[in-house]
């Protein structure tokens, strides 16, 4: 049977709208990756998004679902990846500092869960991932000292910091991704155990 003209017109209209959406999402996704400051950071971001399957959410951050818990979305787990994220740290509450200072992370991975009982999102953990290229890190004792001091401040403010060297990522990026995954899945496991949640 031939397809009637009205159906052909509807299909073409749908495909046209779909193509416009693909183009818009492509632009947003490009902007997401352009936030990275080096090719190595872009490669790491690509691997992170591939490793944690999910769907885009505004491309401010990739809305990515946790793995290995049947249907994690049904349980409200959410992992967002933010490249070049600026975080205000109130130094008066950490390490007896003064004022608020902005810290920029190469990547912030924020793991949360929607708590139906409380009607709000709970932050399970915030992982800062830094890519240390030879040109900018560990080149001098002073730079190494600044990095260590920065890590202590972030840790005191409740962040966990993972540092990977560029050569480490170049040699075996999958190993680094698996370290990130192991950390995040342990946080989910701890959260589940503490609250007595059951997964079917």
Residue 2 φ then ψ, to 5°: -70, 145
Sign of CA dihedral 69, 73, 76, 82: positive
What is the mean predicted confidence (pLDDT) over 158-178?
Answer: 94
Residue closest to 192 by CA, chosen among 120, 108, 118, 115: 115
C-alpha to C-alpha distances, 198 to 65, 69, 151, 190, 192, nearest whole angstrom? 18, 10, 35, 12, 7
> Residue 134 has what pLDDT?
60
Q: What is the pLDDT of residue 54?
A: 59
- Name the more confident of 97 and 126: 126
Give the per-residue pLDDT at 73: 42
Residues 6 or more apart whose CB falls under 8 angstroms from that of 71 comprise none
Instruction: Answer with the residue of higher pLDDT: 149 or 4.
Output: 149
pLDDT top residue among 196 and 175? 175
Q: What is the DSSP string of the chain?
A: -PPPHHHHHHHHHHHHHHHHHHHHHHHHHHHHHHT-SSHHHHHHHHHHHHHS-EEEEBTTEEEEPPSSSSSHHHHTEEEEEEEEEEEEEETTSSTT--SEEEEEEEEEEEEEEEETTTTEEEEEEEEEEEEE-TTTSSSSHHHHHHHHHHHHHHHHTT-EEEEEEHHHHHHHHHHHHHHHHHHHHHHHHHHHHHHT----
Tell me the pLDDT tens digit for each residue of 121-148: 889 999 999 998 765 445 678 888 888 9
- Mean pLDDT score, 84-95: 85
- Tell me: pLDDT of 32 over 60: yes
Q: Judge whether 147 and 163 are in contact, CB under 8 Å.
A: yes
Q: Which residue has the higher pLDDT, 29 or 36?
A: 36
Lowest-confidence range among 2-11, 15-24, 81-90, 115-124? 15-24
- Average pLDDT of the segment spanning 68-82: 60
pLDDT at 151: 92
Question: What pLDDT band is residue 34 in, cutting at 50, 70 and 90?
Answer: confident
Task: Please give the C-alpha separations between residue 11 and each of 20, 22, 44, in angstroms, as whole numbers.
Answer: 14, 16, 38
Q: Is 0.75 topped by the overall pTM?
A: yes
Residue 29: its pLDDT value, please? 75
């Amino acid at each position: 049977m031939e397809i009637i003209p009205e159906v052909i017109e509807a299909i073409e209209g749908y495909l046209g709208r779909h193509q416009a959406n693909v183009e818009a999402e492509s632009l947003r996704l490009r902007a997401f990756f352009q936030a990275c400051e080096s090719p190595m950071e872009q490669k790491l971001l690509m691997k992170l998004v591939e490793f944690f399957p999910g769907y885009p959410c505004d491309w401010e951050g990739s809305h990515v679902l946790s793995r290995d818990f049947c249907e994690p979305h049904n349980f409200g787990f959410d992992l967002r990846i933010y490249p070049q994220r600026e975080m205000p740290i109130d130094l008066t509450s950490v390490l007896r500092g003064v004022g608020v200072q902005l810290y920029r992370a190469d990547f912030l991975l924020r793991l949360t869960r929607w708590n139906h009982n409380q009607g709000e999102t709970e932050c399970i953990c915030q992982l800062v991932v830094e890519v240390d290229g030879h040109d900018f890190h560990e080149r001098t004792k002073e730079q190494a000292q600044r990095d260590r001091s920065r890590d202590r401040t972030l840790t005191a403010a409740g962040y966990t910091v993972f540092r990977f060297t560029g050569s480490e990522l170049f040699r075996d990026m999958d190993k680094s991704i698996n370290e990130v995954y192991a950390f995040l899945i342990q946080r989910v496991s701890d959260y589940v155990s503490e609250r007595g949640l059951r997964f079917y």
